Structure 1
Amino acid sequence: MAVQTALVTGGASGMGRATVARLLDRGFDVVIADLNEEVADTALTELAQDGAGERVSFVRTDVSSEPDFEAAIARAVERHGTLDVLVNAAGVGGAFGPLTDIEVEDWDYTFDVLLRSVFIGLKHAGRVMRAQGTGGAIVNFGSIGAQAAGVGLQPYSVAKAGVEHLTRMAAYEYAPDNIRVNAVSPGIITTPLIGLTEADLQPLLGTVQPLPVAGVPDHVAGVVAFLVGEDARFITGEVVTVDGGIMAAGPQLRDLVNNNPALRGYVGVNRGSTGVKATIHKKLDVAEGSR
């Protein structure tokens, strides 16, 4: 089987950088499209030391610029012959503050980098993959901020919600050409973007995040590598949440409104407004029962 080529935006650091390493390990040639040349140079040096050699290269790219993105895709095809995979991992924290105070220019910048760039990538990668006639795989980066309010910054979260729905729209449109489009939705991951260390995350582990493991870029990169690989060849239009169970746990009210007897150690059944009283089978020590 011929070597496949992947273009990874934001591939110089964080989850993008981890994705580049994973894809190289899986035998892909990889082109890193990133705005930060200094960080990219460091990444290339480290990857070369790990044996990547000529299989990885860098092209400076402003992903919100259509000419820049189109040139990066052309570079990948020129250098390696095909474009088989696109990973839209580039991101910024974007605008922050109350909605009544956020500047329109800052809002637009956030959407340009997070959502406009994904559209541009889908547009031009789709054209190339369709012309090649051999299918392809695209993975976009969403966020758990897209799935509920109060999880992330407002402009960031709304833009990521757009990314996740655009993923479904593109998956539907590109399916006849065997181009699969999926997304990953990371939770709280230790990356330069959020500036948190594993130690910073300790108060969240086993509480807000049920899984008592700090999220690191490689957790997300592994899912991306799966989605672009042969084992996922029948998966398209999906958003895979990679968050240690944060969204599964829901709003985390716990027992703040005294509505969950299990969290106070009781075992039984609540029969609601049927007129039959609740049954309490036993009372556990809090340490023994559920959190």
Structure 2
Amino acid sequence: MAGRLDGKVAIISGGVSGMGLAATELFVAEGARVVVADIQDEKGRALEQRFAGKVRFSLCDVREEADFVAAVVQAVDGFGGLDVMYHNAGAVGDYGGVDDISVEGWDDTQHLLLRSTMLALKVAVAPMKTRGKGSIILTSSAAPFSLGGSGPYAYSVAKAGVVAAGRYAALALGQYRIRVNTIVPGAVPTSIWSGHVGGDADMGDRLALDRERFSRMQPLPQVGEARNIADAALFLASEASDFVTGVALPVDGGLCLYRAPEATANGQRGAVQDAAAKL
């Protein structure tokens, strides 16, 4: 079934690579016109040419309000409005622990992941009110929710905050028929695993070699793909989810239930069963 986003205008932050690129491609295939807001200028311009007339690129550091506002202006002036805000951009941030993280590292990570979420919510409201409805999709992570933990300290705290922000916004904006939902991705081998803010590192052979390890990180013994996340975003952007708001949707193969401690393929099943028995 095609055309699930016919007539809709979307902004996708971080839309030139990884999960964001998969969503951009899928949204366009389903009939949407998309403003891609990203810091990767060269890739963004190439994507704009690839989908001429359907994609506009907006150079955007998601930590900066003016950059987000500029992306909204692109959507409204270029495509006529805004129906979907999918805030996907992010990176791991600072790796410091509870006892040694720097204040600067903490603040930088919160700005990148949580301040940007606040901005994405803020700038989307006015044009969606004009439309009479809208869908805002945020991106959290399985990191703060999986048993055993699967992310650095500042990152995990920020991503838990994203879920809280989404729930609060869903309550506040429901009266305007603006839905707010959060995707909780699991271990999907994209360039964010490099730790680079731009998500532009060349993972190459390393990710290919790591795919077998990725398949053992959660109860479902398979590798999560960027398309799995894009499919969830499509559902939340489309009219199929018209009565869904305030949801944190795991797309993680069960990682929020349990993370295997570098288990071997033979040992994982027993470990998962043991963990489930303790719940």
Pairwise TM-score range, normalised by the shorter structure: 0.7 to 0.9
2:206 pairs with 1:208: no
Task: Identify which of 29, 38, 43 aligns with 1:39.
Answer: 43
Higher relative contact order, structure no. (Cα contacts within 8 Å, ≥ 6 residues apart): 2
CA deviation map 1:40-92 (0-9, x unaligned) = 234335xx2xxx32110101011111111112111210101110000000101
Task: Identify which of 184, 190, 209 aligns with 1:199.
Answer: 209
Distance 1:133 1:41, change over 3 A: closer
Structure 1 counterpart of 2:134:
136
Count of aligned positions? 251
Root-mean-square deviation (Å):
2.3
Structure 2 counterpart of 1:242:
251
Post-superposition shift, 1:203? Answer: 3.0
- How far, CA to CA, are the matches of 2:62 and 2:214 in structure 1? 33
Listed as ranges, the matches of 1:171-182 within 5 Å are 171-182=170-181
Post-superposition shift, 1:2? Answer: 6.8
Post-superposition shift, 1:209? Answer: 1.5
Structure 1 counterpart of 2:199:
none
With the length of structure 1 as denominator, give the TM-score of the two structures: 0.80
Task: Identify which of 220, 226, 231 aligns with 1:222.
Answer: 231
- How far, CA to CA, are the matches of 1:69 and 1:147 in structure 2? 29
Structure 2 counterpart of 1:61:
60
Structure 2 counterpart of 1:13:
17
- In the alignment, structure 1 segments of 5+ residues that lack a partner are 254-261, 265-291
CA deviation map 1:128-174 (0-9, x unaligned) = 211x1420001000000121462101111100100011000001111
Query: Between Structure 1 and Structure 2, whose CA radius of gyration is higher?
Result: 1
With the length of structure 2 as denominator, give the TM-score of the two structures: 0.84
> What letter is aligned with 2:251?
V
- How far, CA to CA, are the matches of 1:157 and 1:109 in structure 2? 14
Identity percentage over the alignment?
A: 35
Distance 1:246 1:9, change over 3 A: same
- How far, CA to CA, are the matches of 2:140 and 2:232 in structure 1? 13
The answer to whether the Cα contact below 8 Å between 2:63 and 2:115 also exists between their aligned partners in 1 is yes
